[in-house]
Amino acid sequence: MTIKITLQKDSTFNDKEHFIYCLHDLVNEWEDIIGPKEMDKEDVGFNSERLLELKTILNKLAKEKEQQHDKRNTI
């Protein structure tokens, strides 16, 4: 799966990395407050499996962005 993030010039996010961290934080807060739903496979929404998959994707994206940042700052 490939996710392309394009931010507008006047975005309130500092950059793509900041967006990913904010989205990750949002998902964690949503999980803590609302929690996953129980539903059928065809239903739209987040059950525990979809929530776990989303968090895994966000963690991977954050880790990739962090590694890119580290490479840029390495002498």
* Higher pLDDT pick, 57 / 65: 57
pTM of the model: 0.70
For 42-61, what is each residue's pLDDT tens digit?
A: 998 888 888 889 889 888 88
Helix (H) or strand (E) holding 51: helix 48-72
Can you read off the two tokens belonging to residue 4?
């392309």
Other Cβ atoms closer than 10 A to 24 = 17
Residue 74 gets which letter from DSSP? -
